Structure 1
Amino acid sequence: MEVLFKVIRQQKNSSPVVQTYLLQVEPGNTILDCLNRIKWEQDGTLAFRKNCRNTICGSCAMRINGRSALACKENVGSEIARLQQLALLKNSANNIPEITIAPLGNMPVIKDLVVDMSNFWNNLEAIAPYVSSAARQVPEREFLQTPQQRSRLDQTGNCIMCGACFSECNAFEVNPDFVGPHALAKAYRMVEDSRDSETETRLEKYNEGTKGVWGCTRCLYCNSVCPMDVAPLDQITKIKQEILDRKQKSDSRSIRHRKVLIELVKEGGWIDERQFGLQVVGNYFKDLRGLLGIVPLGLRMVARGKFPLSFEPSEGAGQVRSLIEAVQKEEVGIRD
């Protein structure tokens, strides 16, 4: 079958251009196979990263038809089928299917599909991704773990640092201080590691403003593109829970936001917006600056009839409450 590959090419500090390459391919050919053929047979100047070709090293991550993925994992047939299912398949003038290849996002382009991953690695370094045993007595041979303790590290240990999640991270795009889903997924590995002696210090660091876990917008893109099922958002959520277990509502707005939301839903089945703003932003009338900050919004809502003057609990409030309490009890049991 013939496929038209549209490659987004770019030199450093220059505008991107689209270059097309027509290939005769088999459905089972990977995107990396096709890029290799373009480079070997049509254009030796095309630049991209590759190494293992077996979804182990993460080198060949790039955007394939708008989503970050490994070029060695995705093949032509499955990619065309995915686009057809989503009704996104584009054809050229000769009715030839098109596949668009672009560099990863959130990282400056060096050349073509090669990006500068300095921020990616610097943000990983910022969370201190190494087990610390400084506060523990060094054993005669090694720090031992039970099979159960080790199994808790399996999912995060699968991360190959390909950069796909970082490429799709909306939070980093609007907030460069956010360390990124890859770093926080690795951070949870340190928190969960029974050999580490810096858990409390780590949690305080991951709790800082919007640099750490509270900077995540929970868009789920990181989970959807991760080729190794690390589920970075799930790991971020686990860190949040560890922090929430140690903090009070008065400690920060981020903590109040989570705790108040759960309390209001337990109480009424859904959120009472009147109480939510006052308790979270206004800190129960203790934060005058916060209260004054939401007054303009409140007045606009009242003027447009969008401010609820009363609150009616959900008919299923009792069922919602029992579900939340059951989940909370289960979480306590898992942690214990």
Structure 2
Amino acid sequence: MGIAISKLWLVVMEVIFKIIRQQQNSSPIVQNYHLDVEGGNTILDCLNLIKWEQDGTLAFRKNCRNTICGSCAMRINGRSALACKENVGSEIAKLEQTVITGSHTNGIPEIIIAPLGNMPLIKDLVVDMSSFWNNLEAVAPYVSTAGRNIPEREFLQTPQERSRLDETGNCIMCGACYSECNAREVDPNFVGPHALAKAYRMVADSRDHKTESRLEEYNEGTKGVWGCTRCFYCNSVCPMEVAPLDQITKIKQEILDRKQASDSRSIRHRKVLIDLVKEGGWIDERQFGLQVVGNYFKDLKGLLSLAPLGLRMIARGKFPLSFEPSEGTQQVRSLIEAVKQEEKKLQGVRE
């Protein structure tokens, strides 16, 4: 595969670029542009050729052309990516591995370019990123005031303390993760994976003095970490390997370490799931509903909300009267305990 792709880099080929174009308050149209390009040409190179030689009205953002600024993020063949990073040869190779209706016209490969998702359109491939920046601001991604006071000597961090910031420090604010976020698409209150990845940077920063208040804020409803659906799209499209979902998970763990199961349904969901799997190897769904939604029989409203579902399950013979632990339950327990011991060791190293 590596040899095949490298050959594509040197071959001049005809490619059809199908670009989704749209003005504000108008319906989108698909406009085709034919280019003779080499496989090594980036998508941004090709967009520049279209703008300079075929259609000067095409609108898109660009700046550094070197995977630094994040300006040229857009959807390329259905996924959010940087136009300056992706090249024609790689895109065609991906098309050959997947069945995409309309990926070729009369044997000519097609590359589909569209604007980022989850943000209003301005023109063509340019979107309004106001919500993206506002949600970033909402998590206060700056070292706290106390941490910014000028000390008698410089701030010092150990290599271990600094290494906790490495992944999140790579973020270039391109918007790819925000564009693909399922949670953001259905919940306008969710701040987005980019904001929570930056939020973890503050939680992990040894110079910050607001860790507890930050965690309380990130624990609030579905606008914080509990709004994440764990779809993994943010990790898969991030061009800088920030792994936003991993950072969200780390914030969740910090919250779980400080909270009791009775504090909220989100907390109970996580803790009860682990406890039930540890007890029986898999989830006893009868107990799961009662403990999570019903708060161990303390939440009358929650219990009543389960009644219609329970009655329908009983009427259709789908309500289990007993629970059989899975085979290998002891091994499951051992694994969970081993993970907890590793977490304690890591916590000790951090402290």
TM-score (norm 1): 0.98
Q: Does the 8 Å CA contact 1:11/1:110 hold for their aligned counterparts? A: yes
Q: Does 1:141 align with 2:160?
A: no
SS at match of 1:217: coil
Structure 1 stretches of at least 4 aligned residues deviating more than 4 Å after TM superposition: 135-138
Q: Does 1:29 align with 2:41?
A: yes
SS at match of 2:213: helix
Distance change (3 Å), C-alpha of 1:91 and 1:128: closer
Partner of 1:319: 331
TM-aligned CA deviation for residue 320 of structure 1:
0.6
TM-aligned CA deviation for residue 90 of structure 1:
3.4
The residue type paired with residue 173 of structure 2 is M
TM-aligned CA deviation for residue 14 of structure 1:
1.6
TM-aligned CA deviation for residue 261 of structure 1:
0.3
Q: Does 1:254 align with 2:266?
A: yes
Partner of 1:230: 242
SS at match of 1:302: helix
Which whole-Å CA distance do the structure 2 matches of 1:70 and 1:233 have between them? Answer: 19
Which whole-Å CA distance do the structure 2 matches of 1:112 and 1:21 have between them? Answer: 14
Residues 265-320 of structure 1: CA deviation (Å, up to 9, x unaligned)? 00000000000000000001100100111111111122222222110001111001
TM-aligned CA deviation for residue 91 of structure 1:
4.2
SS at match of 1:185: helix
Q: Does the 8 Å CA contact 1:248/1:255 hold for their aligned counterparts? A: yes
Distance change (3 Å), C-alpha of 1:39 and 1:139: same
SS at match of 2:38: coil
Q: Does 1:125 align with 2:137?
A: yes
Partner of 2:90: 78
Which whole-Å CA distance do the structure 1 matches of 2:132 and 2:149 have between them? Answer: 34
Q: Does the 8 Å CA contact 2:15/2:111 hold for their aligned counterparts? A: yes
SS at match of 2:74: strand
Partner of 2:64: 52
Distance change (3 Å), C-alpha of 1:275 and 1:91: closer
Which whole-Å CA distance do the structure 2 matches of 1:30 and 1:93 have between them? Answer: 21
Decide which moves more: 326-335 or 241-250.
326-335
Extract unaligned runs of 5+ from structure 2. 1-12
Q: Does the 8 Å CA contact 2:103/2:111 hold for their aligned counterparts? A: no
Partner of 2:78: 66
Distance change (3 Å), C-alpha of 1:108 and 1:136: closer
Partner of 2:306: 294
Which whole-Å CA distance do the structure 2 matches of 1:307 and 1:169 have between them? Answer: 35
Which whole-Å CA distance do the structure 2 matches of 1:277 and 1:220 have between them? Answer: 26
Q: Does 1:165 align with 2:174?
A: no
Q: Does the 8 Å CA contact 1:89/1:98 hold for their aligned counterparts? A: no
SS at match of 2:146: coil
Q: Does 1:94 align with 2:106?
A: yes
TM-aligned CA deviation for residue 136 of structure 1:
8.5
Partner of 2:9: none
Q: Does 1:309 align with 2:316?
A: no
Partner of 1:329: 341
Which whole-Å CA distance do the structure 1 matches of 2:336 and 2:31 have between them? Answer: 53
Partner of 2:292: 280
Which whole-Å CA distance do the structure 1 matches of 2:326 and 2:103 have between them? Answer: 50
TM-aligned CA deviation for residue 133 of structure 1:
4.2
Q: Does the 8 Å CA contact 1:47/1:113 hold for their aligned counterparts? A: yes
Query: Percent identity between the aligned chains?
Result: 83
Which whole-Å CA distance do the structure 2 matches of 1:94 and 1:135 have between them? Answer: 62
SS at match of 2:58: coil
SS at match of 2:112: strand
Partner of 1:197: 209
The residue type paired with residue 201 of structure 2 is R
TM-aligned CA deviation for residue 142 of structure 1:
2.1
Which whole-Å CA distance do the structure 2 matches of 1:112 and 1:225 have between them? Answer: 21
Q: Report how many aligned residue pairs link the two structures.
A: 336
Residues 133-157 of structure 1: CA deviation (Å, up to 9, x unaligned)? 4279752132211111111101000
Q: Does the 8 Å CA contact 2:183/2:227 hold for their aligned counterparts? A: yes
Q: Does the 8 Å CA contact 1:136/1:197 hold for their aligned counterparts? A: no
TM-score (norm 2): 0.94
SS at match of 2:85: coil
Which whole-Å CA distance do the structure 2 matches of 1:99 and 1:85 have between them? Answer: 14
SS at match of 1:134: helix
TM-aligned CA deviation for residue 126 of structure 1:
0.1
SS at match of 1:18: strand
Q: Does the 8 Å CA contact 2:177/2:238 hold for their aligned counterparts? A: yes
Q: Does 1:270 align with 2:296?
A: no
